[in-house]
Structure 1
Amino acid sequence: MIGFIVAGLIIGALARLITPGRQRLSVLATLLLGLVGSVIGGTIANLLGTGDIWELNTLGFIIAVVASVALIGVAEGIAHSKSKA
């Protein structure tokens, strides 16, 4: 479980580095988005037959980072639209 949390934090941090611009997300939000991205990446990698959902593998890691980048974009879009309202 601790490894999953650490992996989520690393994936979330990498996603924030890849995402252009400045994100106004807390460390907790980064962790949560990284964890969700990890689950998405693991699920897709499992469906492609490269390993278990909870197993760290290269394809799952790459998909997790891409999913986290997309989730950060969605979170920023939601936060930006709420700040204008």
Structure 2
Amino acid sequence: MEAIKKNLKSLVEENTALRLENSKLRERLGEVEADTPVKAKHVRESVRRIYKDGFHVCNDFYGQRREQDEECMFCDELLYRE
């Protein structure tokens, strides 16, 4: 009977610790999610600026100059996807 009580006490303590940790993680996640849209918007604007300056931003040709500022369907897909 004593072993069961010890085990129960241990489980209750672990449960309490996990609930506290879960609460803190949810709070932190809320903070991170609140910051994310601003950063994503800034990054997207930077990539668009690089493209407008005449460089590829797609994976296939990244950093290469676009000949006569021609359109690149790979870059367009990257820039305008939702």
The question of a shared fold, defined as TM-score above 0.5 by the shorter chain, is answered with no
Q: How does the TM-score come out when normalised to structure 2? A: 0.32
Using CA pairs below 8 Å that are at least 6 residues apart, which structure has the higher relative contact order?
1
Computing the radius of gyration over CA atoms, which structure comes out larger, 1 or 2? 2
